[in-house]
Amino acid sequence: MLYTSAFPALSIFGLIVLMFWIFWETKNNLFWVYLWQLKNYHIGRFLAHFSTTSGRRLLFSKAMFMKLALFLMTSFLFYAIFFNQNFEILGFNGLDFLFIVPIVWLVYVFEGAYAIFSFLTKKAKKPEFTSKIIFILPIIFIPMGVASVVFAINFIYGFSQYDLYDFSIIGTTFAFSLLLLDLLTPLIASFIILLLQPITVFARNKIIKKATEKRKKLENLLTIGITGSFGKSSVKEFLKTILSESFFVAATEKNKNSEMGVSEAILETLNEKHEIFICEMGAYSRGGIKLLAKIAAPKIGILTGIGNQHLATFGSQQNIIKTKFELIDALPEEGLAVLNWDANLIRDNFKEDKNTIRYGVDTKEDVWAENIEVDKQQVSFKAVFKTGESLLIKANLIGKQNIANLLGALAVAKRLGMENEEILRGVSKIKSSQGGLDLIKHNKGFYVINASYSMNVAGVLAHLDYFKVWNQKKIFVMPCLIELGKTAKQSHYELGKKIGEICDTLIVVSADYFNYLKKGAIEVGMKSENIFLLTKPEDQYQKIIKTAKSGDAVFLEGRVSDYLIKKLFEK
């Protein structure tokens, strides 16, 4: 056998490559688990992601095609070494592809280095470490762990044992396996997550049952359920702040409005001292709100509005309507339905079989608004009640859309017997961030409005309406909306028209329906040179810095990058 000093060095280099590949594969696995978690482990939402530009880029990127080409050549080499050394294709002997091995190794050195950089700069996408994720991740990492141990043993053993032919076998197998596992990571991670669903569903059902039983024991607790395509988080925050002036109140956290979020809030937060539980409820398919109502047992249900958000997963507008009304249908006979009567789809589909409070800015039913004034950082209006009472409201909230949300909260507070002074004291404590928007002045003199919490068509239109109060240059930054199904193209075209009427500059950060936004904006007069598609956060930031002058306003709509928010909001 032929031994040379080169083989120990190659073995050491193989271990180094393995280390870098582990970093890359860790990043890769974390990303796919993050994506599943982001889509609430809902297979319809997960698959719908690949109809977006960012989703297609995951499958059809240059890096992916490069790895597929390398894998194909490595496969020829692998076959030639193990099965037929005389194997030829297009005049090439399989062994002619031996040069691919060091190329593959170097690819993973660079990708591993990039992964390390991503972790250090906190740019790597990773899931929130819930109990479910902690259970799933070790299993997801098993293929990577097994492969790493096998190759580490081979390389360590090879310090003194390999000859040229042995090392070509080990090196080729190593390169082939690295590529294979890398390319299969999305499928492996997804398969494991779906395979574990029965176990996680069993654990989920156990938690739901425990939460439901605990809720039943809290006989004196009043649950207020809130659902809708938009506005539910704001109503929840306003109501919690106001009711806390008179009651001991608990509420679901942030956007944790799924069956697990609600169940965990019941199990971890509620106790016998609580008088009111405010429960935000979200769903992506029929029956979702019905399940949440069964867990939380609301006696008051607030329906904030119905739009076309998540149409791709619901399948039809009618399914969305029926799902939202599951909350109202689940109320007991003595329950109270609180309805945003400005919303056409609520008015047109409500059946007159419940006690109701109907609120709205434009409709004068049970509670409405008059003498509305909206400025850059405050709204003021007179809340008028059908009983003849009225309240003069001043709130540190951004945008007219928050008036309807506040009216819903005021209506419930009055029905629960709160005095006007208590209500007004609670309103004075509401912060602008509770309405979904933050405003700061950048050190270069322009203003930044951050509405990156969530995004839907109605919300974008409302924010654009607020943007009218700014007199100087208005720069609107947004991604394209997702999960709008067959309405997506028309919705983006109409949004583009509204943006073109109000704003001076449009920066779109995802490509999916950019052309429809652009077409709508140009049709109403926005210049093409003021419309930009910039998918890299660094480019978005530089464009804003170069475009915005002192006194101008920059509006961040929807889920723009954390990098952009951090750069614009840093002191």
> How many secondary structure helices (H) and strands (E) does the chain include?
23, 17
Sign of the alpha-carbon torsion through 488, 494, 495, 497: positive
Per residue in 440-454, pLDDT tens?
A: 889 899 999 988 776
Query: Is it the case that residue 55 has pLDDT exceeding 90?
Result: no
CATH number of 212-432: 3.40.1190.10
Give me the percent of the chain exceeding a pLDDT of 70.
92
Q: Above 90 in pLDDT, residue 54?
A: no
Residues 337, 356: contact at Cβ < 8 Å? yes
Whether residue 301 has pLDDT greater than 70: yes
Question: Rounded distance, CA 436 to CA 280, Å?
Answer: 15
Alpha-carbon distance of 94 to 78, in angstroms, equals 8
Higher pLDDT, 555 or 571: 555
Nearest Cα residue to 332 out of 297, 288, 291: 297
Q: Nearest-CA neighbor of 462 among 227, 349, 304, 569? A: 304
The better pLDDT of the pair 76, 377 is held by: 377
Superfamily of domain 438-569 in the CATH hierarchy: Mur ligase, C-terminal domain (3.90.190.20)
Measured in degrees and rounded to the nearest 5, phi and psi for residue 82 equal -90, -25
Distance CA 114, CA 136 (A): 25
pLDDT over 60 (residue 35): yes
What confidence score (pLDDT) does residue 2 get?
A: 38
Residue-range domain boundaries for the chain: 6-195, 212-432, 438-569
pLDDT at residue number 4:
43
Q: Give residue 262's pLDDT.
A: 93
* Residue 282 structure tokens: 């979200």
Contact 210, 260 (CB under 8 A): no
Which of 113-117, 291-295, 351-355, 413-417 comes out lowest in average pLDDT? 351-355
Angstrom distances, CA of residue 233 to CA of 145, 230, 435, 436, 545:
42, 8, 8, 8, 31
Q: What is the pLDDT of residue 184?
A: 94
The Cα 74–Cα 100 span in angstroms is 7
Cα–Cα nearest to 359, from 239, 466, 495, 223: 239
DSSP secondary structure string for all residues of 546-560: HH--TT-EEEEESS-
**Overall average pLDDT of the 158-187 stretch:** 76
Rounded Cα distance, 509 and 557, in Å? 10
Which H or E element spans position 125?
none
Distance CA 336, CA 344 (A): 20
Q: Tell me: pLDDT of 7 over 60.
A: no
At 62-118, the pLDDT tens digits run 889 999 999 988 887 777 776 665 555 545 555 556 778 889 999 999 999 999 999
CA atoms of 173 and 155, how far apart (whole Å): 12
Spatial separation of the C-alpha atoms in residues 139 and 428, rounded to whole Å: 50
Helix axes 164-195, 62-82, angle to 10 degrees: 130
- The pLDDT value recorded for residue 90 is 47
pLDDT digits (tens, 9 = 90+) for 261-282: 899 999 999 999 999 999 999 8
Q: What is the pLDDT of residues 311-335, one digit of tens each?
A: 666 678 888 889 899 999 999 989 9
CA nearest 270: which of 318, 219, 309?
Answer: 219
Output the six-digit token pair for 489: 């193209």
